[in-house]
Amino acid sequence: MKLGVNIDHTATLREARYRGLPDGEPDPIKAALACEAAGCYGITAHLREDRRHILDEDMDRLAAALKIPLNFEMANTPEMVSKALKLLPTSVCLVPEKRQEITTEGGLDVQSQQASIARTVQELQAAGIEVSLFVDPAPEVVRASIDTGARAIELHTGAFAEGFGEAVSRRREIQRLVEAAELGHQGKLKVNAGHGLNYLNVKGMHEVPWLEELNIGHSIVAHALFVGFDVAVKEMLRLIHPVG
């Protein structure tokens, strides 16, 4: 499995003090470059409609500075599609977005939005951008995702993370992820996963087949406050790629 690091919450810290000002710290681009130097596969950043953390100029600077893949998380809106087509990141992950939520809650409702999502998928992939759909690990959602023409899905691991401390819940959620990953692979989709993964529960992802990439943000950023990004990223990489 490859590690993608979501650096959104470095920008959350910056905006808590410097929102609306021309400069501020910490700089999410410096964080991304530190993660790149530590050996992660890619960087993920979510440009939200309300610009609560990552800003347009952050995305522009990330695209210019990174030598590793940039994964642009975004809502399926004309504004964000236009931004993606100008930015031309390696990949786009389409996510649901609510103004009132603290972080992304739940996966895309692909079934009810299938036509709109399919149009966006076609437009972005025609420009050479791989499109992933952030989805709950449910068979009907994975099947609908296959029908959109997207090349990848990112399985929402939030329920797994929330229930990790209870054996029955943990086993149930692992089984849901396993079944969704198998179905996605059968449908020729690249299968990624993310949301709520941390240094304790990430080991559960070794039980899920076909996973190519894990996208992890908050836990790494939080740990980096104490040990720095180099150590935080390398510790996560050792958990994803255990030796022996």
Q: Which residues are catalytic?
A: 46, 73, 195
Q: Is 102 exposed, middle or buried (0-12, 13-18, 19+ CB in 10 A)?
A: exposed
Nearest alpha-carbon partner for 121 in 153, 156, 87, 155: 153
| Cα–Cα distance measured from residue 104 to residue 97, given in angstroms and rounded to the nearest whole number | 6
**How does 124-163 read in b/e, with b if 16+ C-beta sit within 10 Å?**
beeeebbbbbbbbbbeebbebbbebebbbbbbbbbbbbeb
| Cα–Cα distance measured from residue 50 to residue 48, given in angstroms and rounded to the nearest whole number | 5
Beta bridge partners of 192: 154, 213
Q: What three-state secondary structure class fits 163? A: coil
| Cα–Cα distance measured from residue 174 to residue 39, given in angstroms and rounded to the nearest whole number | 27
Residue 72 Cα to chain centre, angstroms: 8
